[in-house]
Amino acid sequence: MKDEKFGCRKSYSEPGPGDGGRTGSWRVLRPVIDLTKCIPAKKNKPACFTCWLYCPDGVISKTVPPTIDYEYCKGCEICAEECPVGAITMIEESILIMEEEE
């Protein structure tokens, strides 16, 4: 401790996933993408990506099809609200957990 640099403990974070902890555990509702409705999935080419653009946590990939990183998705529902074709549905986490356990 004595030889430590001054100010060695302060708040500094680099951009990247997970700096705020595993925030996926905060989620009550899980966004699930219906690939039969999702525009890039249906056309099989890069398109739309409205969900990727609006996601405040940057957990939706700009890929075909888009995928959601549930490790960090907080379940804010913005993607479901913004999807122009209603491809994203919010499902109760508790129901999905029970299904996964069965």
Partner 1 sequence: MHIIESGNVAAALGVKLAGVQVIAAYPITPQTPLTEKLSELVDSGDMKAEYIPVESEHSALSVCIAASSAGSRTFTATSANGLLYMNEQLHWAAGARLPIVMCVVNRGVGAPWTVWNDHQDAISQRDTGWIQLYACDHQQIIDTVLKAFCLAETVSSPVMVCYDGYILSHTYMPFEIPHEDAVQQFLPPFTPEYKLDPKFPANLNTVTLPDPRPDVRGELAPGYMEIRHNLHMDMRRSLDVIADIETKFTDVFGRGGTPFIEPYRCEDADYVAVCLGSLSYHLRDVIDMLREEGVAIGVAGLRVYRPFPDQAIRDAFSHKKGLIVFEKALSYGYEGPLYADIKAALYAVSDRPTVRNYILGLGGREIKTTQLAAALRESCQVSAGSTDVPEFIGLKM
How large is the C-alpha radius of gyration of the chain? 18
* Under rule CB under 8 A, residue 8 binds partner 1: yes
Element of type H or E holding 90: strand 88-92
* Alpha-carbon span 102 to 93, nearest angstrom: 14
Which stretch, 4-12, 39-47, 62-70, 79-87, contacts partner 1 (CB under 8 A)? 4-12
Q: What is the DSSP code (8-state) at residue 71?
A: T
Taking the least distance from each CB to partner 1, the nearer of 25 and 94 is 25
Distance CA 30, CA 69 (A): 11
Return the range that interacts with partner 1 (CB under 8 A); candidates 5-13, 42-50, 58-66, 84-92: 5-13
For position 6 contacting partner 1 by CB under 8 A, the verdict is: yes
Question: Toward partner 1, which CB reaches closer, 16 or 100?
Answer: 16
